[in-house]
Amino acid sequence: MTKKYLRLILVLAALTALLGCGPAKTSVTLAGSTAFQPFAEKLAEQFMAGHPGISITVQGGGSAVGVQSALSGAAQMGMADLVRLPEEARELTAVTVARDGIAVVVNPANTVANLTTAQLRDIFNGRVRNWKQVGGPDAPVTVVSREAGSGTRSSFEEIVGGIELTPDALIQDSNGTIRETVANDANAVGYLSHGLLNERIKALTIDGQACDDHCIALGRYLLVRPIFLLTRGPAQGAAADFIGYVLSPDGQATIKANGLIPAQ
């Protein structure tokens, strides 16, 4: 190897090292609510486009994971969609960034359009086992629910009240799998974030009130829960910047455009 060739290799190595020595990005991790996860991912993309020095990672796991991750420091921010935060969350700073309706959904082939709260309770308790008991077809009811630790399940059961989930319920680990299960089973009934409704499932009215922006804003539809971002102590640095963006007019417009209700 000639000295000239060796010098060229050293110069190229030095240039490569210099190009890789840009300022390190600040990393922020969010973990928790799977219902809010797709919305948080969208907000993170928009935020990072305007803040190239900050990297936002969004992880799911459920609201219980969101609380515990914020408490332990495993994540800088937890996401939780609970009507009432657990006692241990008193150590955290909770900021409401959105509100979300919990839609009760069936397959579009189901002729049932409305349930009372009492009927809804009886379905998920297993007392109503055939759709004809609530004015529907003569067909067995397939109850689909979220797993323990889910903020959507906790909020649904607390608002409806008196639910001891039927043992034969199908348990799903996300709003997305609830949607797919109901879309593929003519006899299924489940619940999910109203921001994830699509034409493959049908949202029922509850006590005559629709799960839509209008009825939620007027307080007529009662299955509604807040969505929190949680930090251990007041948010600082990049975490505070992100929360500020989510609460900004642009962030709240994104929340509304994607099917949630703005916090304000």
Please give the pLDDT value at position 33.
Answer: 92
Query: Residue 102 in contact with residue 191, Cβ under 8 Å?
Result: yes
* Pair 94, 105 in one domain: no
- 1 found inside a domain: no
* Pair 156, 116 in one domain: yes
* Pair 88, 123 in one domain: no
Query: Residue 232 in contact with residue 71, Cβ under 8 Å?
Result: yes
Provide DSSP, 76-127: SEEEE--SS--GGGGGSEEEEEEEEEEEEEE-TT----EE-HHHHHHHHHTS
- Over residues 27-48, the mean pLDDT reads 95
Please give the pLDDT value at position 195.
Answer: 86
pLDDT confidence bin for 258, thresholds 50/70/90:
confident
* Pair 60, 151 in one domain: no
Query: What is the number of structural domains in the chain?
Result: 2
Percent of the chain at pLDDT > 70 equals 91
* Pair 156, 85 in one domain: no
Query: Residue 22 in contact with residue 49, Cβ under 8 Å?
Result: no
130-167 pLDDT, tens digit each = 999 999 999 999 999 999 988 899 999 999 999 999 99
**Which of these, 100, 262, 263, lies nearest to 196 by C-alpha position?**
100
Q: Range of 248's domain?
A: 28-98+226-262
Please give the pLDDT value at position 259.
Answer: 85
32 pairs with which residues across the strands? 61, 79
* Pair 198, 249 in one domain: no
- 55 found inside a domain: yes
Q: What is the pTM of this model?
A: 0.79
